[in-house]
Chains A and B, each alone.
Chain A
Amino acid sequence: MDNQVSLIIVNMLKSQAINELRECNDYTVRFGLFLEEKQILELVNKRFEALKETERIEFSQGILKKLIYEFCDSPYISNDNYEEILWELIDGFYYFKNESLDLLSDDELLSIMKKYFDTVCEGSLDYLMSTSLEDLCRSTRYREKIED
């Protein structure tokens, strides 16, 4: 829906997201993690791109803040790989929301992603995305079919 109001709303949501990420820095700095202004802008754009690719839509504050708060204390994230990991996690998060047919809430999915990332996957995003989460989503869908 490409029109003037959509653009106004998207710009509004973007500036909201940018402010939120700036605020997140106040918390994450204690873990040695800090996003530069340029990184913040790119992450916010990345979020909208990921939404578009996965054909999802967000109206209120997005998932970025929750994602950062959940993962910032991971032993596998340092300031060197912070932005890169967040990029992958954003992509993965929306992808697996679709794969799980929205049967998992945001909090549930984030919590599971963090748990697997820190334990079984030992910080490997490839392993997280291609094995652990795929298995989880398959069993979530299967459980839904049984209940039908």
Chain B
Amino acid sequence: MQKGEEDYLITLLEKNIFNDFLSEKEFLHFQSEVWDLLAQRTKRYTMGDSSSIPVEVAKELLKSIGYCVLVYSENIEAIEAHIDVKKAFLLGTSEIERQVEFGKKLFLSISKKILPVENYFYQSVYEDIKTFFSNYDYHFFAHQVVCTPRYPLMQPIDKKYGIEYINEYLMKFNIENKFCRHFDIDAINQLVLSYALDGKIQYINIFELVFFNAIGLMLIDGDILKLKICKKEGKQLVNIFSSMSDDLCKRKIENAINELIERFHFNGSTEKMYFSHTALLLFKRIISRTNKHSLAGIFVICDNGISEQSIELTLADEEMMEDEALRELIDQITDCQVTSEKIILVKRNIHSLRDLVEVLNICFWGKECIQFFQTLETVELAILLYFIEKQQTTYMSWQSESRWEIQFKNYIEQLNGSKKQQIKNVISQLSK
């Protein structure tokens, strides 16, 4: 039985895995202690209002007891913990309480340093962790991760539950952020856009993009702070890797990361280990390419930037979808449970203004509209505003089913002066 398996207590109750350590009698005593504890917890859970609970709830309460015992048994001999279950449970609960306080402080400190990276999932970290701490009930369901953060870490967390999962997530997120803070935010955002046109809503780890490109630039003596690897530099990297053995490749990468660690003054052993492990992942990805002539998908190779003009053309000039295809897409969007999924579908499939308006008319309501508008470029905002003004001039009574145009106008109204001016400038060009 491995630590971290949340149903370990249930398995323990079903079979005696301590054959060598506990006698039959001792094991029966252990089991009856667990049942007694479960009965007590059930009574507290129902506040004495119910004599019975659903079996599923009882299982969750039991898993929570097991988790508390496991948290405690980190610190003492595991077998001793299993014999005095009640003591282990109480002390484990105290330890969890302490970890919750630690996690809240860490979250508070991290939340002040979240970077203004233009990526939906990165920005969702604050809300997700806040939701976790609001809903986490360590008294009865200590093992549950009541809200799993949507933003993916470079090194995912395995076999952790409850507050331990969140604390490890926060620590890793903090390390990744510390690294990224050494770079200009505009450079990071440009990197995200270079990764994908819809990088703002892509499910990506920002640290991975920054870290890999920084290492790549180190290897070719480039300017690591600009994070940009142009096509020519990309070819340089290909030449370097294809001409060296795997061992040499690994050493080069290790040297590069050591230099970065020294340059950015990372002194903590946890941080160094995190970066070393990430560098190892980079190495494995490179050597897994049988043909090192292509490193696409490992490093982000930047073109000369994506102009807003080209986005405008993408929106206005593309063909409308076939009716049936659009209907299917609208059904798919309507079935989405979360706004981010709706936005992804729109970004990937809608290429004409008419289709976009059709989708907005039916599929986006209330706050969902605002979340979508936040992913739009200045030119896209200008085009939509121009469209609304034209519609309302031509057809006095025009309004959409979802009233998205009202949300849109309110959204435009609360933008800063400079952005509003940019939108005005684009509209004046469109009007010519």
CB closest residue in chain A, given B39: A59
* In the complex, chain A residues 52-76 whose Cβ is within 8 Å of any chain B Cβ: 55-63, 66
- Could you tell me which B residues sit within 8 Å of A by CB distance? 10, 13-15, 28, 31-32, 35, 38-39, 42-43, 46, 49-58
Total A-B pairs in contact (CB under 8 Å)? 61
CB closest residue in chain A, given B15: A3
Residue from A4, A5, A8, A107 having most chain B Cβ neighbours under 10 A? A5
Least Cβ distance of B42 to chain A in Å? 5
Contacts of B15 in A (CB 8 A): 3
List, sorted by A's number, 10 A–B pairs whose CB atoms are closer than 8 Å: A3-B15, A56-B53, A56-B55, A58-B51, A58-B52, A59-B43, A62-B51, A94-B52, A102-B50, A106-B51
A1 vs B14: C-alpha distance when bound (angstroms) = 6
Contacts of B53 in A (CB 8 A): 56-57, 102
Least Cβ distance of A84 to chain B in Å? 22
Determine which of B14, B39, B49, B55 lies in contact with A55 in the assembled complex, contact meaning CB atoms within 8 Å.
Answer: B55
Contact yes or no, A1 B13, CB < 8 A: yes
CB closest residue in chain B, given A47: B52
- Could you tell me which A residues sit within 8 Å of B by CB distance? 1, 3-5, 8-9, 51, 55-63, 66, 94, 97-98, 102, 105-107
CB closest residue in chain A, given B41: A59
Contact yes or no, B43 A106, CB < 8 A: no
Contacts of B50 in A (CB 8 A): 97, 102, 105-106
Take A8-B32, A60-B43 as given contacts and tell me if A98 and B49 are in contact as well, using a CB distance cutoff of 8 Å: no
Contact yes or no, B32 A51, CB < 8 A: no
Contact yes or no, A56 B54, CB < 8 A: yes
Contact yes or no, A57 B55, CB < 8 A: yes
CB closest residue in chain B, given A107: B49
Contact yes or no, A55 B56, CB < 8 A: yes
Contacts of B55 in A (CB 8 A): 55-57
Least Cβ distance of A97 to chain B in Å? 7
Least Cβ distance of B116 to chain A in Å? 33
Contacts of B14 in A (CB 8 A): 1, 3
Contacts of B32 in A (CB 8 A): 5, 8-9
Contacts of A58 in B (CB 8 A): 51-52
A107 vs B39: C-alpha distance when bound (angstroms) = 19
A129 vs B34: C-alpha distance when bound (angstroms) = 37
CB closest residue in chain B, given A64: B51
Contacts of B38 in A (CB 8 A): 59
Contacts of B51 in A (CB 8 A): 58, 60-63, 66, 106
A62 vs B52: C-alpha distance when bound (angstroms) = 8
Determine which of B13, B31, B52, B58 lies in contact with A97 in the assembled complex, contact meaning CB atoms within 8 Å.
Answer: B52
Contact yes or no, B49 A5, CB < 8 A: no
Contact yes or no, B31 A5, CB < 8 A: yes
CB closest residue in chain A, given B40: A59
CB closest residue in chain A, given B35: A9
Contact yes or no, B52 A57, CB < 8 A: yes
Least Cβ distance of A24 to chain B in Å? 15
CB closest residue in chain A, given B50: A106
Least Cβ distance of A87 to chain B in Å? 17
Least Cβ distance of B409 to chain A in Å? 31
Least Cβ distance of A89 to chain B in Å? 14
Least Cβ distance of B13 to chain A in Å? 6
A66 vs B50: C-alpha distance when bound (angstroms) = 11
A60 vs B52: C-alpha distance when bound (angstroms) = 8
Shortest beta-carbon contacts, A-B, top 4: A59-B39, A105-B49, A5-B31, A58-B52
Contacts of A9 in B (CB 8 A): 32, 35
Contacts of B13 in A (CB 8 A): 1, 3, 5
CB closest residue in chain B, given A101: B54
Apart from A57-B55, A57-B58, what 4 extra A-B contacts exist at CB < 8 Å? A1-B14, A56-B55, A98-B54, A106-B49
Contact yes or no, A60 B49, CB < 8 A: no
CB closest residue in chain A, given B32: A5
Contacts of B42 in A (CB 8 A): 59
A1 vs B12: C-alpha distance when bound (angstroms) = 11
Contacts of B31 in A (CB 8 A): 3, 5
Residue from A1, A59, A61, A94 having most chain B Cβ neighbours under 10 A? A59
A58 vs B28: C-alpha distance when bound (angstroms) = 20
Contacts of A5 in B (CB 8 A): 13, 28, 31-32, 35
Contacts of B46 in A (CB 8 A): 102
Contacts of B52 in A (CB 8 A): 51, 56-58, 62-63, 94, 97
